Structure 1
């Protein structure tokens, strides 16, 4: 007897909202290697960016401590921030093997 082929339903694809798309675009600009090196990023506003979306994302950025926002004549925003101090930096452990020692008691 031949086995019936299983029908797999495709996963429901959830669309991103326009604010999420804008936030993702801005986040990728901020997290680019060049922006991280310079501690600044110039965020360009696209014609397709809705006013409410732009205002919401810029409002969230404005609430972030240590970030200066300089609004440009062309509608873009220059973000500047202080480089992280040694206390703020996260050390990557990479492939270091953690050794678990027994408790001394």
Structure 2
């Protein structure tokens, strides 16, 4: 039997370079927070901008969430929002 060469796994992400953008990194962090058991139980969560995240990315996130009719966004302070949603199982 011939040995097969082991190739490198392809990089995941968007764009030709395979790099993940700072906005996507922030989005993954926020997604994980939203999917946490506590947030799902309460159908709400407070999200805070991290110091390492850009204000452009944060503003883009807030703008995109505000267009989602299934999510209520309340501004708490600069860099902090409260998200709430209806539980689809109730």
TM-score over 0.5 (shorter chain): yes
TM category, shorter: 0.7 to 0.9
Equivalent position to 2:48, from 19, 23, 44:
44
Count of matched residue pairs: 83
Structure with the larger helix share = 2
Shift of 1:56: 1.2
CA distance in 2, matches of 1:36, 1:8: 41
Structure with the larger strand share = 2
Shift of 1:68: 1.1
5+ residue gaps in structure 2? 12-17
Normalising by the residue count of structure 2, what TM-score does the alignment of the two structures yield? 0.76
5+ residue gaps in structure 1? 87-105
Give 2:26's aligned residue. 22
Runs of 4+ in structure 1 off by over 4 angstroms are 5-9
